[in-house]
Structure 1
Amino acid sequence: MSLTDVMIRSLKPEDRPYKRADAGGLYLEVRPTGAKLWRFKYRHLGKDNRIALGAYPEVRLAEARQLRDDARRKLREGVDPLAERKRQKLIAQFNAGNTFGDIAKEYIDKSVAEGRADATTVKANWLLDQLKPIATMPVADLKPVEVLAVLKRIEARGKYETARRARSFASRVFRYAVATGRGESDPTAVLRGALIAPRVTHHAALLEPEAVGALLRSIDAYTGNAITRLGCQIAPHVMARPGELRKALWPEIDLDNAVWSIPAERMKMRRPHAVPLSRQVVSYLRELHELTGPEGFVFPAFHTFRRPMSENTLNQAFRRMGYSTGEVTAHGLRTTASSLLNESGKWHPDAIERSLAHADANAVRGTYNRGRYWDERVAMHQWWSDYLDALRASDEAQISALTAK
């Protein structure tokens, strides 16, 4: 006889647990405490099993029957409902211990172990902080709309580029989660086009030879700090990133052999880099050596030799020379060199790229090897310094001789 709500309410506790059957394997167990617990008894692969379906009256009779029917449907499909429940519980526990924030930190740690630059790590942690609202959510449960909501909040502050970078960082974290078996997909993949595209800006750079000559004359006439002036004079010649230049150490520089050897830990691409030094650069460095050598930073801070000069020092000098941020930046000098060297047609593009220390898409070609293109780079750096001298002097004859095909 099947159970009814009236019958269930009338059941009283006894000294020992007892059962009252409903139908199809469903029964109610009444405990001495008065608790009434739903159970479903079934047989799977020749073995009897029981699965708890909840307590009455929290789970009403109709709901208990529905839960029984769901379990029986799984059995018809060859799935053990008890084993499936245990599996889902393990998955939930696993997901709870693999939040987006946990996976992101693991991904960042992996990047550090692989040798990514400190600046890159700092940026990654900063981007993770921008995504804080989803940091505590299981990475496998996150939906595109939840990620988009966070990105839109960033975008609402006018931080379009930050939103774009945050989406890109989140994508890398999700793909890492998939690769390590803790995620099923990258929900940011469908968000392309959902954000406002930031206006693309580039480091201001002079691309006309006459303008470059005028800049060099302004640098020579600079009346500020001598170390700053020498930094501005050297920067156009060596093609280094501003951070690499201002953190240069005297032990890295071999004036006799005219080479500056930058260790991997100070390079953006985490590969050692050698810079050929032209005669002009060696001359500037010998002058600088009298001021800041022979140990420590080549370009120390104004008030202490224990730290490098500020990242803004060279740019502030350009501002004092009358150049706006839209005209000249220290980083833009690399663009100037790249543009005019490629335009000259005299040098192999790979030699130019190697002097700029750009990453090579081909991992084999990109492996550090000072010998590859070294002789050409030595000649190219000397040509470049000679060309800059000619531009500074507005020496048309010398410019023509240097640029002749």
Structure 2
Amino acid sequence: MRLSDLQIRKAQPKEKVYRLSDGEGLYLYVHPRGGKWWRFRYRFDGNEKLISFGVYPYITLADARERTYQAKCMVAKGIDPSQERKRAKEAKLERIANAFEAIAREWHKHMVGNQMWSADHAATILTRLEKDVFPWIGTKPIAEVTAKEIKGILDRVRSRGVIETARRVRTILGQIYTYAIATDRANYDISAGFKGYLPPTSKTRKHMAAVTDPKELAPLLRAMDGYQGSLVAQSALKLLPMLFVRPGELRHMEWAEIDLEAGEWSIPASKMKMGLPHLVPLSRQAVAILEELKPLTGHGKYVFPSTRSFSRCMSDNTINASFRRMGFDGNTIVGHGFRATARTILDEVLNFRPDLIEHQLAHAVRDPNGRAYNRTAFLPQRKEMMQIWSDYLDGLKAGAKVLPFRKTSKE
């Protein structure tokens, strides 16, 4: 007699495991705790074997009979169902291990572990992969990625108007394939065929867009103060012109580097472009902004964490994207441009010494003996300069009379 769904549903647990036979080697095992498992008993090469088909009711009676039929067909063809299932499982695990994203993350971890990159560069590369590559080929085995898929990735990045980023993505793909070949998971670099696909970038140095006229700076500052984004983004926008550090340095600001009582931000050498530690005096206004933000992000590492995870700092595009949302295009202002803004106005309007300005910009400044000044050089003067600069910016936002540029001897 074959089983019925009604009979299976009504089967009650007993003190010991018992089985209900459906015929042709298919059984339903009923456990004392109430669980019901499908089992199939068969003979292969003269040996009796047993495999599981899953749990009822998730595997129905009809499902179990279909699996029994498939297993009996395998046996008839000289294939052991148990070994075939094992091979299928191993193939699935191998496919997952050889997926492009798995190998790319392994390569990234290898480069970070061997200290091949700075923390900033490592984060940038991972962000590019997560944003521009993984969504399209991440789950696919690296050896099965096609040229069409690589072309699609490059075209999507290029369509955003950032050819240089597309070129860097292609370079990253090539490095991942090199790693995959070295670890015997790919035979060739399919991205190599795209070396000449993207047009070359201009060799001419492009200066960062900046506002250096106080009359134009005032409305920009007011717009930034009125930005409707998150408190994290608002605070970053307010501090950027006030501190005029590089945007990357601001994004990676950590609470452990800040002494609010002393009004100082100590940036370690590993985060600085010139490889030297830098000290940024914090004005009263800057301290007030950080004190307001601390209850929100002070329990984490970064002052300006990512919206996705407090363990990472905000994206490198957050500040410039904020300017675009406010209606300022890339030809008007970018985050890096406030360094030129401060240098120009501090010198030509507020009459501060150029060496103090350059030192605060973390540029290479030498003493009369040719030695680099240390990070605390002229600290009292720089603290005064940074406070006057913050007061000046507040005056512009409030509509104070704009001081004219200093006349040069040629004018």
TM-score by length of 1: 0.51
Equivalent of residue 200 in structure 2, options 146, 159, 164: 159
Partner of 2:337: 332
1:207–1:340 Cα contact (<8 Å) kept:
yes
Equivalent of residue 381 in structure 1, options 358, 376, 386: 386
Q: 1:117, CA displacement in angstroms? A: 5.8
Runs of 4+ in 1 over 2 A off after TM superposition: 115-123, 153-158, 359-368, 399-403
The separation in 2 between residues aligned to 1:326 and 1:317, in whole angstroms, is 14
Partner of 2:208: 203
- For 1:343, give the aligned amino acid: E
Q: 1:237, CA displacement in angstroms? A: 0.6
Deviations 1:291-328 (A, max 9, x none): 11144100000121100000000111111111001111
Q: Which has the larger radius of gyration?
A: 1
1:391 partnered with 2:396:
yes
1:288 partnered with 2:287:
no
Which residues of 2 match residues 56-95 of structure 1 at below 5 A? none
The separation in 1 between residues aligned to 2:269 and 2:305, in whole angstroms, is 21
Q: 1:159, CA displacement in angstroms? A: 1.4
Which residues of 2 match residues 354-365 of structure 1 at below 5 A? 354-360=359-365, 365=370
The separation in 2 between residues aligned to 1:154 and 1:353, in whole angstroms, is 40
The separation in 1 between residues aligned to 2:271 and 2:368, in whole angstroms, is 20
Deviations 1:362-392 (A, max 9, x none): 7965535233221111111001101101111
Q: Secondary structure at the match of 2:209?
A: coil
- For 1:335, give the aligned amino acid: A
Which residues of 2 match residues 228-243 of structure 1 at below 5 A? 228-243=233-248
Give me the identity figure in percent: 39
Deviations 1:229-260 (A, max 9, x none): 11000110111111110001001000000000
The separation in 2 between residues aligned to 1:390 and 1:375, in whole angstroms, is 23
Which residues of 2 match residues 1-20 of structure 1 at below 5 A? none
Q: Secondary structure at the match of 1:317?
A: helix
Partner of 2:349: 344
Partner of 1:254: 259
Deviations 1:252-308 (A, max 9, x none): 000000000001111111110000000110111111112111441000001211000
1:383–1:402 Cα contact (<8 Å) kept:
no
Deviations 1:99-126 (A, max 9, x none): xxxxxxxxxxxxx99x996668999xx7
2:263–2:281 Cα contact (<8 Å) kept:
yes
1:217 partnered with 2:222:
yes
Q: 1:202, CA displacement in angstroms? A: 1.1
- The more displaced of 248-257 and 289-298 is 289-298
Q: 1:154 to 1:321 in 2, by over 3 A?
A: same
1:272–1:368 Cα contact (<8 Å) kept:
no
2:349–2:404 Cα contact (<8 Å) kept:
no
1:219–1:229 Cα contact (<8 Å) kept:
yes
- Structure 1: give runs of 5+ residues left out of the alignment: 1-111, 133-152, 162-197
Q: Secondary structure at the match of 1:211?
A: helix
Q: Secondary structure at the match of 1:235?
A: helix
Which residues of 2 match residues 80-159 of structure 1 at below 5 A? 157-159=198-200
Deviations 1:56-90 (A, max 9, x none): xxxxxxxxxxxxxxxxxxxxxxxxxxxxxxxxxxx
1:387–1:402 Cα contact (<8 Å) kept:
no
- For 1:257, give the aligned amino acid: A
2:364–2:372 Cα contact (<8 Å) kept:
no
- The more displaced of 349-358 and 288-297 is 288-297
1:273–1:368 Cα contact (<8 Å) kept:
no
Q: 1:363 to 1:357 in 2, by over 3 A?
A: farther
1:338–1:352 Cα contact (<8 Å) kept:
yes
Q: Secondary structure at the match of 2:335?
A: coil
The separation in 2 between residues aligned to 1:208 and 1:348, in whole angstroms, is 19
Q: 1:372 to 1:365 in 2, by over 3 A?
A: farther
Q: 1:288 to 1:119 in 2, by over 3 A?
A: closer
Q: Secondary structure at the match of 1:331?
A: helix
Partner of 2:141: none
The separation in 2 between residues aligned to 1:366 and 1:254, in whole angstroms, is 28
Count of residue pairs the alignment pairs up: 232
Q: Secondary structure at the match of 2:294?
A: helix
Q: Secondary structure at the match of 1:274?
A: strand
The separation in 1 between residues aligned to 2:232 and 2:119, in whole angstroms, is 26
Equivalent of residue 226 in structure 1, options 225, 231, 247: 231
Partner of 2:134: none
State the superposition RMSD in angstroms. Answer: 3.5
The separation in 1 between residues aligned to 2:371 and 2:120, in whole angstroms, is 21
- For 1:350, give the aligned amino acid: D
The separation in 1 between residues aligned to 2:118 and 2:351, in whole angstroms, is 33
TM-score by length of 2: 0.50
1:297–1:307 Cα contact (<8 Å) kept:
yes
